[in-house]
A = this chain, B = another copy of it.
Amino acid sequence: MKKIINDPTTVVTEALQGMALAHPDLITVTLDPATIVRADAPIQGKVALVSGGGSGHEPLHGGFVGAGMLDAAAPGAVFTSPTPDQVLAATQAVDGGAGVLHIVKNYTGDVLNFETAAELAAAEDIQISSVVVDDDVAVKDSTYTAGRRGVGGTVLLEKIAGASAARGDDLATVTAIAQRVNSQVRSMGMALTPCTVPHSGEPSFTLAEDEMEIGIGIHGEPGRHRVKLQSADEIVATLLGAVVEDLPFTSGDRTLLFVNGMGGTPLIELYLAYHSARSFLGERGIEVTRSLVGNFITSLEMQGMSITLLKLDDEFIELWDAPVHTPALRWGV
């Protein structure tokens, strides 16, 4: 296992300490239980957004804590759901009296632990609503889920719902907007190489030198099928074909196109794939109105990418463009 770490058991803790030192103006970090909280939380009268999940997908979610996006994140161990304890602590830290939205990626452990935390918070008279993100069209059920997995759409949802809360929307409105994003966003990913969880020390799966996995999950869990290496254009056509067909996206739609790296893929390949995706969508009359290209929801050092497409309307565009100031996304500030 080749990693820049000290001890497999302290990777998350040390990385959190690094984040806290690098971004003292934006976030504060607690280690027991582990939370990343907006430095100026709680904000009285503002709906607060809390997300979380296993670590190893950075910058998701901790990198999105700050003005205009999340109020707190609960980072679990690598590829492991955060405990109810963590989610509750994050929720308590950010509640400003207007309620808290839990943004949960659809993995069985995450859903369960967020539900438990929501019950505990409700018992303290904190108003809780939640949205479960399930945008991955690759497989219906998976190793980690009943139903579709939550992947790249989560990033877009956190930005848009965060802007809704920032402009003063109430909990019902922010929740409805988050649910509407989830209903309008679809994703699919692929991998060229596996990744290695520090604690295990072994690659999560193996792929031959001429193979790739189509429809991979963000924990390296199996997707649709394993195939021989293909060209970027063929890969993009497979991913976007499934994405476009699913919603479906049709000619005349305005969209946000998000080409996401899995952590080990160079930016030059992501821009190349973005170019290919633009051709694919252009041929179908699907307009790309906003874009995001880079590593935002990753799987440690895995090489691969996912493509996410969100159908935009005027409100989504306004909320996407609104100011955001987090470690990993920043504009308008």
Contacts and interface: CB of A to CB of B under 8 A. Distances in A.
Interface centre among A12, A78, A271, A278 (most CB of B within 10 A): A271
A187 interface: no
B300 A266 contact: yes
Interface of A: 2-7, 11-12, 14-19, 21-23, 55-56, 58-59, 63, 78, 192-193, 209, 212, 229, 231-233, 235, 263-276, 278, 288, 291, 293, 295, 298, 300-301, 303-305, 330-333
Given A22-B271, A264-B303, A268-B15, A295 B295 contact: yes
Contacts of A298: 266-267
A305 B7 CA distance: 18
Given A265-B4, A298-B266, A273 B192 contact: no
A59 B331 CA distance: 18
Contact of A267 (B17, B63, B274): B63
A14 B236 CA distance: 14
Given A3-B269, A303-B2, A14 B264 contact: no
A295 B294 CA distance: 10
Given A4-B273, A274-B18, A276-B6, A264 B264 contact: yes
